[in-house]
């Protein structure tokens, strides 16, 4: 496997089985550590939310993840955010809305966004902002929103702004400093366990990041190592939280990215129905066809998602299907956002990581068909009884 891929879940092993065992153990330990650090702040936040009659999730791990995210994103991006003016933020956010609203001009808008984003958002300022206040958090989240990479994460963290505004500056400074400390400890422990899975990230960015300058995916390709670990941990938490609801659904569907596809000379034969492109297993060597074969035995249809940018549009079709559970598959940096989005739409789901990323659009110039762990996929689906199908 190419050592310059940003991540490779098997590491030095033949499969990613060991990765999933380690991730479960790491998640258990991290929950305990974050609870000890954030317990008081989460209690205060819950009391504040109840007093203001604002909604708060019952799952106690949601706030743990959000405060960890706050520390990681503050460490990575608050320096750049502090140097970016409001006009630049507004311009880029409006361009992002434009490309979502009018898919036909997406490529042209993305070209403009790519050029302007590198010029207006990247200031090469890596020292975290010392403005550890609600205002500082607002600047950070506005900057993140302008990149177009963190939509669901920004939505989650925005609710902490009024809470910080309700407290004095000393409290706000302390909670953000605690988040920064948690983020540093998290990264230190994660790299000791998962370092081999991300060993190609540094080489990938050193060799190729300059080629992303002026492109709309620059901020995707340049994301930091600690964000890979954050997404691993976050996706595992979401899977645990949503597993029971997923098990209760009658029908299951597997959503696979087309970067897994190995097309025959005649082209992919996937057929479209009202829910999307259904794999017809036209090529025995295609990774999507292989997974579709596994899922067919479980009574589960396999659908193709052309690109992550179309994921939101695709999910709308399933929003009013309460008896259907979705299994989402994506590269590490897309799974937490995708999991949050499905949760927000009330879709019972589970997520599985691609073992490595290799799509031609973002990660590999030649295009490398991606794959995922069959055992993990079957672990999710084997105890699920599917009575009917959605096709």
Q: Which residues pair with 350 in a beta bridge?
A: 327
What is the pairing mode between strands 324-330 and 251-257?
Answer: parallel
Q: With CA atoms as reference, report the closest residue to 363 among 240, 231, 259.
A: 259
Tokens of 63: 């706030």
Average pLDDT score over residue span 107-126: 86
Whether residue 182 sits in one domain with residue 320: no
Indicate whether 36 and 174 sit together in one domain.
yes
What pLDDT score does 105 carry? 84
The answer to whether residue 381 scores a pLDDT higher than 70 is yes
Give the CA count within 13 Å in the CB-facing half-sphere of 113. 26
Confidence band for 386, pLDDT divided at 50, 70 and 90: very low
For 350-371, letters b (16+ CB in 10 Å) and e give bbbbbbbbbbeebbbeeebbbb
Residues 231 and 336 sit within 8 Å (Cβ to Cβ): yes
CB-based contacts of 147, cutoff 8 Å, min separation 6: 92, 117, 121, 219
Is residue 177 located within the same domain as residue 86?
yes
For residue 192, count CB atoms less than 10 angstroms from its CB and return exposed for 0-12, middle for 13-18, buried for 19 or more.
exposed
Whether the model pTM is above 0.85:
yes
Are residues 76 and 28 part of one domain? yes
Give the model's pLDDT for residue 388.
Answer: 33
Mapping DSSP to helix (H, G, I), strand (E, B) and coil, where does residue 164 land?
Answer: helix
7 within some domain: no
Q: Where are the alpha helices (DSSP H) in the chain?
A: 17-51, 61-82, 86-101, 106-120, 134-147, 151-158, 160-165, 169-194, 201-208, 218-221, 225-248, 287-297, 311-315, 332-344, 374-381
Q: Which two tokens stand for residue 229?
A: 């670990």
**What CA–CA distances, in Å, run from 97 to 217, 220, 287, 321?**
16, 18, 34, 27
The residue among 199, 229, 259 that closes a domain is 229
pLDDT tens digits, 24-69? 999 999 999 999 999 999 999 999 998 888 776 767 799 999 999 9
For residue 41, is it left (φ>0), alpha (ψ between -120 and 50) or beta?
A: alpha
Residue 390 domain flag: no
In which band, very low, low, confident or very high, does the pLDDT at 119 lie, cut at 50, 70 and 90?
confident
What is the b/e burial string over 6-28, where b = at least 16 CB atoms within 10 angstroms of the residue's CB?
bbbbbbeeeebeebbebbeebbe
pLDDT of residue 317: 77
The two three-digit tokens of residue 314, written as one number: 């695709």
Same-domain check for residues 190 and 110: yes
pLDDT digits (tens, 9 = 90+) for 211-221: 888 888 899 99
What is the pLDDT at residue 3?
A: 57
∠ CA 74-75-78 to the nearest 5 degrees?
50
- Name, in order, each residue with C-beta under 8 angstroms of 367's C-beta and a sequence gap of 6 or more: 259, 358, 359, 360
92 and 100 Cβ atoms separated by less than 8 Å: no
CATH number for the domain spanning 336: value is: 3.40.50
Concatenate the DSSP letters of all residues of 139-154 into one string. HHHHHHHHHTS-HHHH
Is 169 within a domain?
A: yes
How many domains would you assign to the chain?
Answer: 2
Look at residue 102 and tell me if it is in a domain.
yes
Q: Which residue segment(s) compose the domain that 122 sits in?
A: 17-229
């Amino acid at each position: 496997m190419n050592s310059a891929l940003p991540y490779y879940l098997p590491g030095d092993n033949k499969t990613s089985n060991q990765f999933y065992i380690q991730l479960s153990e790491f998640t258990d330990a991290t929950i305990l550590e974050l609870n000890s650090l954030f317990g008081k702040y989460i209690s205060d936040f819950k009391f504040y939310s109840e007093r203001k009659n604002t909604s708060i999730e019952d799952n106690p791990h949601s706030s743990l993840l959000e405060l960890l995210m706050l520390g990681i994103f503050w460490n990575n991006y608050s320096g750049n955010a502090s140097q970016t003016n409001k006009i630049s933020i507004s311009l880029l956010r409006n361009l992002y809305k434009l490309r979502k609203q009018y898919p036909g001009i997406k490529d042209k808008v993305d070209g403009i966004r790519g050029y302007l984003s590198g010029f207006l958002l990247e200031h090469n300022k890596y020292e975290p902002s010392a403005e550890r206040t609600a205002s500082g958090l607002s600047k950070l989240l506005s900057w993140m929103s302008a990149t177009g990479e963190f939509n669901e994460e920004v939505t989650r963290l925005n609710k902490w702004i009024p809470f910080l505004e309700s407290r004095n500056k000393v409290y706000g400074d302390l909670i953000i400093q605690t988040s920064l400390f948690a983020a540093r400890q998290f990264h230190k422990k994660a790299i000791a366990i998962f370092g081999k899975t991300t060993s190609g990230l540094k080489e990938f960015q050193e060799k190729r990041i300059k080629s992303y300058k002026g492109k709309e995916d620059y901020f995707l390709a340049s994301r930091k190592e600690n964000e890979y670990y954050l997404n691993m941990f976050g996706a595992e938490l979401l899977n645990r939280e949503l597993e029971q609801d997923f098990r209760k659904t009658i029908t299951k569907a597997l959503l696979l990215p087309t970067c897994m596809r190995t097309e025959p000379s005649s082209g992919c034969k996937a057929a479209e129905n009202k829910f999307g492109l259904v794999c017809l297993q036209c090529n025995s060597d295609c990774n999507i066809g292989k997974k579709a074969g596994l899922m067919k035995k479980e009574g589960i249809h396999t659908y193709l998602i052309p690109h992550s940018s179309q994921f939101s549009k695709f999910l709308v079709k399933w929003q009013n299907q309460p008896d259907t559970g979705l299994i989402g598959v994506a590269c590490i940096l897309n799974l937490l956002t995708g999991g949050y989005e499905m949760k927000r739409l009330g879709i019972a789901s589970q997520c599985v990581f691609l073992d490595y990323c290799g799509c031609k659009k973002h990660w590999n110039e030649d295009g490398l068909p991606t794959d995922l762990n069959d055992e993990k996929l079957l672990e999710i689906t084997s105890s699920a009884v599917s009575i009917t199908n959605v096709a």
